[in-house]
Amino acid sequence: MSKLSKKPGIIVALDIKNIDFALNLAKEIDKAKGNYALKIGRPLEMQGGKSIISKIKEVSNIPLIYDGKIADIPFISSEIAEIAYEAGADAVIMHSFVGSDVIKEIINLNMGDVITVVEMTHPGAVEYYQHYSEKMAEAALKLGVNGIVLPATRPERVKKLSKLISDSIYIISPGIKAQGAKPGDAIINGADYEVVGRAIYESEEPRKTAEALYQEIIERKRLTLNF
Ligand code: 6CN
């Protein structure tokens, strides 16, 4: 069973280099009304090392994702994932372009959720990445990953690619606000979570901003899909 539930929510990206700020934000999001998870990316990891994963886990009770965008040979990739799970990560994000052997190696650790990137949000993703997105979505289904990443910046792609996977796989979609997508753009097209970084951690009151975004997303989903 997956550690992240398949219900609409927000994943807050803690792309902050200040460890105290990151810990405070994790505590605030833990108390916020709504369905949330936290994501630690490379900028914070490079400041705090693997212990930042344990520290964030200690101060919050919501699912924690290590976003190392792991993309190495099977042996090295599974070492990175193992360190993250042992430190307290409930899920890891890896690239799928490295191939099914790497994905299988991490799934076989059986230590937590495996989330694969199927299409990225930035403009350059159409140059190479997008040519293989369909194949990578099909691989996610065949290999049995827990979640995939699809771009909120291209809602039509979320709609198309989400149809290639099963109901048991959750979809997380970054790109909200700072990268141009509107809150709800991905969720009304088949995603489960929208990933939000700068729009929350750069705001005056991050917890209130997160709660307002959550409400906005849920309301949009309700109005659009009769949810
Ligand atoms: O909301 P922001 O644009 O500030 O942050 C988006 C977050 C970042 O942590 C970025 O690493 O989502 C992540 N992300 C991922 C895949 C992708 O294609 N585009 C992204 O922006 C992931 N995971």
pLDDT digits over 84-142, tens only? 999 999 999 999 999 999 999 999 999 999 999 999 999 999 999 999 999 999 999 99
Give pLDDT, residue 40.
98
Ligand 1 pocket test target in 121, 130, 170, 185 with most atoms within 8 Å of CB:
121
Beta strands in 34-112 (DSSP E): 36-41, 64-70, 91-95
Cα 224 to averaged position of ligand 1 atoms, centre (Å): 25
CATH fold of 9-226 reads TIM Barrel (3.20.20)
Residues of the chain with pLDDT under 50: none
Q: Apex CA 165: angle with CA 213 and CA 15, to 5°? A: 40
CB 95 within 8 A of CB 115: no
Q: Is the CB of 197 under 6 A from ligand 1?
A: yes
Give pLDDT, residue 142.
97
Cα 109 to averaged position of ligand 1 atoms, centre (Å): 25
Q: Is the CB of 103 under 6 A from ligand 1?
A: no
